């Protein structure tokens, strides 16, 4: 993967982290999954359109 636009990466991470913690994941596992969401988001242009789908995060 190559970074295209880092705008919104922090938002992607924080949103995903909140979801994974709310689902009952431990903080380390939630951070690991949230990092995947942020990594995917920087491979696309923009902010909202760059957010990854759950299936993409799970399969990465």
Cβ atoms of 47 and 8 within 8 Å: the answer is: yes
Q: Which residues are catalytic, by number?
A: 11
Cα dihedral 22, 27, 32, 34 sign: positive
Extract the tokens encoding 38: 């942020």
């Amino acid at each position: 993967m190559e970074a295209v636009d880092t705008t919104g990466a922090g938002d992607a991470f924080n949103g995903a982290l909140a979801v994974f913690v709310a689902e009952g994941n431990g903080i380390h596992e939630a951070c690991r999954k949230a990092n995947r969401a942020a990594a995917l988001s920087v491979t696309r242009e923009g902010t909202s359109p760059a957010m990854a789908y759950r299936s993409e995060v799970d399969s990465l």
